[in-house]
Amino acid sequence: MCCSGFLRTVMIVFNAIIFLAGNIILGLGIWVKVESESLVKVLWNTEDTPEGANPVFHMGYLLIAVGAVLLVMGFLGCCGAMKESPCMLLLFFVIVLLIFIAEVAGVVMIFIFNTRVEELINKLALESIREDYGTKFDLTGLWNSIMEVLNCCGFYNYTDFTGSPFNNMTAGRYPDTCCLNSPCTLENSRNAKVPGCYPKLVDLLESNAVIVGAVATGIAALEIAAMVVSVTLYRKSSHQGCSA
């Protein structure tokens, strides 16, 4: 009985923190989305940026998605534990389980089909640049955001943009992140030798492998603990029926 009460308290506190974090992230995401154009003008001194090409615009959507998931999880876990609702606890367990399965499946797929996954990513990334960069605002904005954050150019290097819609429409120009000097011409891109985003990301992950592994293990441990506690409380409260 004492152990059950302790688990219930831990579940409430833990999910209250998740619920609060979800609210903050969701609110931040909405604010970023609404004020994305203003933020870009302040941060990058860019005027009249199309909404889809706005490098902050996509970050707003990501924050909204993450915040919404955390909000739902925190609400179900916290209220489920407080009210001892089998229905809420079961829903919380299912959501966490699905997230955990997706994470494990993703890791397994990467390890088993490492070469094929890499080839597929390479193919899709290069095709997206060479066929759509400069014409599709969403994809252009996404690539701009990645290159700004990682301080990189293209998937492998500046040559990925040769013959792209952007390159053709701007009379041979390349994205500004590919150059150290303006205008970003072929010669300036070649002289700048800005690394590609793929090798830059690989180097970043390899240099922080221990941190990445520790964070991944910690997240997995928290998810397993949350599922165990929710199942324990579910069994205790299941006699009450599925009532909120």
Cβ burial of 153 (10 Å; 0-12, 13-18, 19+) is: buried
In a domain, residue 142? The reply is no
Q: Which of 68, 240, 28 shows the shortest CA–CA distance to 76?
A: 68
Asked whether the predicted pLDDT for residue 172 surpasses 80, the reply is yes
What is the Rg, in whole angstroms, of the alpha carbon atoms belonging to the chain? 23
Domain that holds residue 98: 2-114
Q: How many domains does the chain have?
A: 1
d(CA 8, CA 51): 45
Residue 129 within any structural domain of the chain: no
Nearest-angstrom CA–CA distance, 25 and 33:
12
Does 190 map to a domain? no
Contact 161, 174 (CB under 8 A): yes
> So what's the pLDDT on residue 158?
93
Q: Global pTM?
A: 0.62
Determine, yes or no, domain membership for 170: no
Highest mean pLDDT out of 10-19, 47-56, 113-122, 207-216: 10-19
User: Does 188 reside within a domain?
Assistant: no
Instruction: Please indicate, yes or no, if residue 222 is contained in any of the structural domains.
Output: no
pLDDT-derived band at 109, boundaries 50, 70, 90 = confident
Residue 51 lies in a domain: yes
State the pLDDT at residue 197: 92
The residue that leads in pLDDT, 40 or 183, is 183
Residue 172 falls within a domain, yes or no? no
Two structure tokens written together for 114: 């490492």
